[in-house]
């Protein structure tokens, strides 16, 4: 990212004498936020880092015993946990890819001369305004083989969306795509409307095909904001809990956040769940880091 | 902006001040959000009329109940004076010091005899056989069955059933008959299915359902007194019970892989199944015509016997405990003294609560009050429960992990699932030095 | 050539319009279903095919706000006649209103939770957007050592599943007495939304030409004055867009709302899907709770709709 730096004020000027210095304004604007986030993020993180080496249980008042790396060792040797990771990875890929395809596709359509564009765009945002738990609950009903609407409308008879172990994860992903494609759509739309018209005109004069125009003009210019959408959606998909937990309880849909919830709040294995959380954190940070590096590269182009 | 924040902070300070200036005449009972909690509110209203002590039953949705209760206990919060807690919590809550020891109160009032024996054993005592009591049995509950009387009593069906199975179609007396009837009514092309059973593995639904089969087949989950599991949880009768449960799953309506009390009641109201397993506490909705269009033709029966004649059901229900961090413990004990009186227990049953009082349960008045009370009475004297050790949740999750894929997807065999479970449990008990 | 192109363009546009229409219908069908269910009589809620034509009822909304339990004995005709209209609606549904010891009608958790949600979501949105704007301006206009790392740190605060930080947060809140307070949740949601707010606002502010401020400085404004009088108005659309996202997140947050509250500061999301106390869900009540809860955020978004799109494009693309 380019850094815009202001020319320094002449120290003798009236304004400089009257107001605060640039450095103190910068500090005043940035440091409270950073401090605030440190207190609310670093502190709990240190707390849980300590607990991850203990057998602490938050349901009792018994003191925590230091167990060293035992929690990590046990977790990394647990076959169920590895399944949780694989499931989560599959879900993140399907769900985020679906959102990008649908969201970006709809944005491409809306970027044309469509009547009531503003109204339609706003209406399409409705799904993402609902709470995840409610969405899960209603979609479970919509998917129901006996009295759900989806099978009726699609003429699928008694198709078992959520009870079929192989289908359930995709069914949850479809719901997630329904809910969050609008988010990707909105950001893409913003990106698309900012692409200068003259570039398209130039391409038309050069008799460039639609594919060429799309891959050489549209996509590169929208890519930065699309990447931001993808980063945020990936992080959220990684954390998926409410929707999946409410809709299905198949072993094939037990994602990390669900396993973590069970460990932390049903079993009350606080120490163990903190260790689990750390393993997750390292993975998410690594993935996001790759994304952000790529984002910066895209922006430089 | 700042003024608004100060306003909120000020308002909060006021709220805090008014709620912490403890009025001795107020008690709060914490429970899950369901009808019995509303009945309890009606009951304690009468206590207020008598004594002037205001009692409030505060509730939270079922799915959050356990999480919220334990976060509150752990915070040593004094917001609640009493809690109507699940039987599995006894171990965790008593070992951690969250509950007040009620042993003296229990013995003084001879509650071991006043309350039905099973409720004393499972809602109140921990550890098993120790003579230490932590709760007063409050809401008895167990798993029973509802069925479609109109389907069962249809002459054509009765004739066809007799021809096929050689005996009369009637509410099943044992699990073999249960299986036959489920198979008989399972007609997917007519959009009609045999049976609704618990399969939800996100908490204790599936395990409760499987327990019904295991206990009636004469099996046990383990030796609760000395934590022995190998050869008990994976015994031959348990393998047979699990195999039958798996077979019943094939007679359930489509999409029945995450069903618990809500779905099983819906199986009756939506004309899906001939028979449906459920807690007695959820049967009132089935006799209410506003919520069940089939209310008039819904019947009830207790959990049937196994091949050896054993007949046990999985226990639900809760006992009421005093929270150690309450500032009104004495007042709470006075309330409990009122609560265990015979008149109160009788009134509790009238209002819709499932009393655990042996005398009230045995009365004709109680047994004839609803179509399911008799089945409830019969069941409450033959119930068994899951482990109540502090690590019960781990045991529960391990059981879900091993049993669910077999029941719903037919993965592996019953024997393999239970052997693996025995290994998991043994390891867990070793980890906690049991 | 040009004429041909316009005809094919026009045909393409028609296809686009029809596709948009289809997509809109697919996306809105579940929403329509929820809204219509919230006005249905209970026995029509789960019919297949769905009932489209019905006489709308207000009873789901009445039931939503009252604490009810199953009727065990029908009310006597006198009782029924003496009851106000809303109590009769409850009777008609086979239920009765739960009263306190003093005979007062008890409300369900919904009304108070709704108010709490409003207080907490609005305040935390204002805070997150304000702090986000300041910080974004700081990063945008001044050199900061390790700027990229700080920005990544800010982003990273949103990466963890809430259950991870929940326990330490809970213990921390317990220690300082912020459990179950409005302030506690407001701070939490502000922290939660800050990363998004900073990242989005930085995009917007980067786009505002710095010459605007320089001109103001030359006119004798201090830097602070220039920020408030020149930069802020320019960033208004971006602020609106950011506010919408922050509000949606804070409004619907579930996990922390569940763990960090117990009575005074409880919000609505954990309550809405829980209408199964009798063992049978009343879908009409769940739908009405969902519909009412959707209204504030939908209205807020609708009011800011013009800013939303313009704001987004404003901050989206860097030159």
Q: Tell me which CATH homologous superfamily contains domain B157-313+391-431.
A: Periplasmic binding protein-like II (3.40.190.10)
Indicate the Cα dihedral angle B20, B26, B28, B29, nearest 10°: 160
Non-local CB neighbours of A35 within 8 Å, separated by 6+ positions: none
A49 chain-C contacts, CB cut-off 8 A: none
pLDDT bucket at B3, cuts 50 / 70 / 90: very low
Q: Which two tokens stand for residue A121?
A: 């765009």
A120 chain-C contacts, CB cut-off 8 A: 20, 24
B271 chain-A contacts, CB cut-off 8 A: none
A143 chain-B contacts, CB cut-off 8 A: 255
Q: Environment class of residue B173 by beta-carbon count within 10 Å: exposed (0-12), middle (13-18) or buried (19+)?
A: middle
For B12, which of C130, C181, C274 is closest by C-beta distance?
C181
pLDDT for residue A210 is more than 70: yes
pLDDT bucket at A8, cuts 50 / 70 / 90: very low
Long-range contacts of B326-330 (CB under 8 A, 24+ apart): B326/B78, B326/B80, B326/B81, B326/B82, B327/B22, B327/B78, B327/B81, B328/B22, B328/B24, B328/B26, B328/B27, B328/B81, B329/B81, B329/B100
For strands B318-322 and B298-302, give the pairing: unpaired
| Phi, psi torsion values for B87, nearest 5 degrees | -65, -30
Fold assignment, A79-300: MetI-like fold (1.10.3720)
Q: Which residues pair with B136 in a beta bridge?
A: B320
- Averaged pLDDT for residues A257-286: 89
pLDDT tens digits, C285-313? 999 999 999 999 999 999 988 777 665 55
Which class is B25-142+316-384 in CATH?
Answer: alpha beta
Percent of chain B surpassing pLDDT 70? 94
In angstroms, the CA B379 to CA B343 distance is 23
Is the link from the previous residue into B6 a cis peptide, with omega within 30 of 0? no
Indicate the Cα dihedral angle B27, B322, B385, B91, nearest 10°: 140
* Average pLDDT of chain B to the nearest whole number: 90
DSSP SS3 for A220: helix
For C24, which of A7, A51, A123 is closest by C-beta distance?
A123
Task: Specify the pLDDT at position A25.
Answer: 87
Mutation site for C-interface testing, chosen from B36, B196, B284 by largest number of C Cβ within 10 Å: B284
Task: Specify the pLDDT at position A301.
Answer: 65
Write down the residue that tokens 């913003």 correspond to.
A190
pLDDT for residue B17 is more than 60: no
Inter-chain CB proximity B55 and C92 less than 8 Å:
no
pLDDT for residue C45 is more than 70: yes
pLDDT tens digits, A272-299? 999 998 898 888 888 888 888 888 887 7
Residue B97 touches chain A, beta carbons under 8 Å: yes
Domains of chain A: which residue ranges? 22-51, 79-300
In angstroms, the CA B59 to CA B39 distance is 12
Written as one string, the DSSP assignment of A106-120 is HHHHHTSS-TTHHHH
Instruction: For chain B, give every residue range classified as CATH 3.40.190.10.
Output: 25-142+316-384, 157-313+391-431
Task: Specify the pLDDT at position C297.
Answer: 95
For A125, which of C259, C301, C306 is closest by C-beta distance?
C301
Inter-chain CB proximity B288 and C71 less than 8 Å:
yes
Residue in C270, A45, A57 with CA at minimum distance from that of residue B74: A57
DSSP SS3 for A7: coil
Torsion sign over Cα B337, B340, B342, B348? positive
- Averaged pLDDT for residues B269-291: 93
CA-based nearest residue in chain C for residue B63 = C274
A vs C: CB pairs below 8 A: 305
pLDDT tens digits, A51-66? 999 998 877 777 889 9
pLDDT bucket at A13, cuts 50 / 70 / 90: low
Residue B188 touches chain A, beta carbons under 8 Å: yes
pLDDT tens digits, A215-240? 888 888 888 888 888 988 998 898 88
In angstroms, the CA C252 to CA C291 distance is 13
CA-based nearest residue in chain A for residue C308 = A186
pLDDT tens digits, A109-155? 998 888 888 889 999 999 999 999 899 999 999 999 988 899 999 99
């Amino acid at each position: 990212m380019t850094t815009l730096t202001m020319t320094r004020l002449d120290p003798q000027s009236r304004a400089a004498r009257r107001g605060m210095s640039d450095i103190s304004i910068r500090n005043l604007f940035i440091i409270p936020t950073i401090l605030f986030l440190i207190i609310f993020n670093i502190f709990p993180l240190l707390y849980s880092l300590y607990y991850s080496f203990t057998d602490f249980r938050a349901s009792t008042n018994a003191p925590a015993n230091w167990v060293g790396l035992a929690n990590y060792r046990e977790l990394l040797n647990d076959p169920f946990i590895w399944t949780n990771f694989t499931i989560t990875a599959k879900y993140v890929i399907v769900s985020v890819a679906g959102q990008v395809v649908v969201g970006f596709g709809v944005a491409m359509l809306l970027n044309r001369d469509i009547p009531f564009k503003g109204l339609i765009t706003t209406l399409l945002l409705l799904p993402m305004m609902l709470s995840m738990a409610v969405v899960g609950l209603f979609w479970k009903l919509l998917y129901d083989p006996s009295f759900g609407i989806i099978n009726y409308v699609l003429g699928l008879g008694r198709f078992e969306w959520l009870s079929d172990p192989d289908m359930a994860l995709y069914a949850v992903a479809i719901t997630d795509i329904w809910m969050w494609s609008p988010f990707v759509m909105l950001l893409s739309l913003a990106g698309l409307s900012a692409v200068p018209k003259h570039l398209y005109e130039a391409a038309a004069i050069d008799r460039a095909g639609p594919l060429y125009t799309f891959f050489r003009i549209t996509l590169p210019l929208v890519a930065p904001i699309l990447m931001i959408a993808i980063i945020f959606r990936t992080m959220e998909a990684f954390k998926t809990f409410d929707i999946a937990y409410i809709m299905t309880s198949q072993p094939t849909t037990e994602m990390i956040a669900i396993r973590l919830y069970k460990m932390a709040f049903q079993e009350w294995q606080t120490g163990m769940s903190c260790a689990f959380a750390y393993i997750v954190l390292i993975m998410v940070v690594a993935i996001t880091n790759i994304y952000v590096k790529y984002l910066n590269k895209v922006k430089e182009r | 902006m700042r003024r608004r924040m100060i306003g909120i902070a000020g308002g909060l300070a006021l709220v805090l001040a008014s709620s912490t200036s403890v009025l001795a005449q107020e008690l709060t009972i914490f429970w899950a959000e369901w009808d019995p909690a509303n009945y309890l509110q009606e009951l304690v209203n009468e206590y207020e009329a008598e004594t002037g002590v205001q009692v409030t039953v505060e509730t939270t949705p079922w799915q959050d109940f356990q999480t919220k209760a334990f976060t509150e206990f752990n915070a040593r919060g004094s917001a609640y004076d009493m809690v109507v807690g699940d039987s599995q919590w006894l171990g965790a809550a008593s070992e951690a010091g969250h509950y007040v020891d009620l042993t003296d109160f229990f013995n003084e009032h001879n509650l071991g005899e006043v309350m039905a024996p099973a409720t004393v054993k499972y809602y109140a005592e921990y550890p098993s056989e120790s003579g230490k009591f932590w709760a007063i049995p409050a809401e008895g509950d167990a798993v029973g069955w509802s069925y479609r009387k109109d389907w069962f009593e249809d002459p054509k069906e009765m004739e066809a059933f007799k021809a096929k199975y050689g005996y009369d179609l009637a509410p099943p007396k044992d699990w073999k008959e249960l299986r036959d009837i489920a198979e008989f009514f399972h007609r997917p092309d007519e959009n009609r299915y045999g049976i609704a059973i618990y399969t939800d593995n996100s908490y204790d639904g599936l395990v409760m359902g499987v327990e019904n089969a295991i206990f009636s087949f004469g099996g046990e989950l383990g030796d609760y007194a000395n934590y022995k599991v190998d050869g008990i949880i994976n015994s031959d009768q348990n393998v047979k019970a699990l195999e039958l449960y798996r077979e019943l799953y094939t007679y359930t309506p489509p999409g029945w892989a995450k069903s618990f009390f809500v779905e099983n009641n819906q199986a009756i109201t939506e004309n899906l199944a001939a028979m449906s397993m459920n807690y007695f506490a959820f049967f009132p909705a089935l006799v209410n015509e506003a919520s069940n269009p089939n209310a008039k033709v819904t019947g009830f029966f207790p959990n049937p016997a196994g091949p050896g004649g054993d007949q046990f059901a999985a226990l639900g229900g809760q006992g009421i405990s005093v929270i150690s961090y309450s500032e009104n413990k004495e007042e709470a004990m006075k309330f409990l003294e009122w609560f265990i009186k015979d008149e109160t227990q009788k009134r509790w049953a009238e209002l819709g609560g499932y009393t655990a009082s042996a005398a009230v349960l045995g009365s004709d008045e109680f047994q004839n009050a609803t179509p399911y009370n008799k089945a409830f009475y019969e069941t409450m004297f033959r119930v068994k429960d899951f482990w109540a050790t502090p690590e019960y949740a781990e045991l529960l999750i391990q059981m879900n992990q091993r049993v669910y894929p077999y029941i719903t997807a037919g993965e592996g065999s019953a024997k393999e699932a239970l052997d693996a479970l025995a290994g998991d449990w043994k390891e867990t008990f070793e980890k906690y030095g049991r | 050539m040009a004429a041909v192109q316009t005809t094919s363009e026009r045909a393409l546009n028609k296809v686009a319009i029809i596709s948009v229409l289809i997509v809109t219908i697919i996306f809105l069908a579940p929403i329509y279903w929820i809204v219509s269910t919230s006005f249905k009589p209970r026995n029509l809620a789960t019919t297949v095919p769905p009932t489209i034509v019905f006489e709308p009822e207000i009873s789901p909304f009445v039931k939503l706000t009252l604490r009810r339990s199953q009727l065990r004995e029908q009310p006597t005709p006198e009782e029924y006649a003496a009851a106000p209209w809303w109590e009769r609606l409850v009777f008609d549904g086979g239920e009765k209103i739960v009263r306190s010891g003093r005979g007062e009608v008890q409300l369900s958790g919904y009304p108070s939770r709704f108010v709490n949600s409003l207080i907490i979501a609005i305040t935390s949105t204002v805070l997150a957007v304000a702090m986000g704007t300041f910080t974004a301006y700081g990063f945008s206009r001044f050199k900061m050592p390790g700027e990229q790392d700080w920005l990544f740190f800010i982003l990273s605060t949103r990466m963890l599943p809430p259950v991870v930080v929940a326990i330490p947060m809970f213990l921390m809140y317990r220690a300082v007495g912020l459990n179950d307070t409005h302030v506690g949740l407001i701070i939490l949601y502000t922290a939660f939304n800050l990363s998004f707010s900073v990242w989005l606002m930085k995009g917007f502010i980067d786009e505002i030409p710095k010459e605007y401020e320089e001109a103001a400085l030359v006119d004798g404004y201090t830097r602070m004055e220039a920020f408030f009088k020149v930069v802020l108005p320019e960033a208004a659309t971006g602020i609106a867009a950011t506010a919408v996202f922050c509000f949606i997140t804070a409004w619907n947050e579930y996990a922390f709302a569940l763990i960090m509250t117990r009575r005074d500061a409880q919000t609505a999301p954990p309550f809405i899907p829980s209408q199964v106390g009798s063992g049978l869900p009343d879908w009409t009540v769940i739908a009405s709770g969902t519909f009412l809860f959707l209204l504030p955020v939908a209205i807020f978004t609708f009011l800011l709709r013009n800013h939303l799109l313009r704001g987004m494009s404003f901050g989206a693309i860097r030159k």
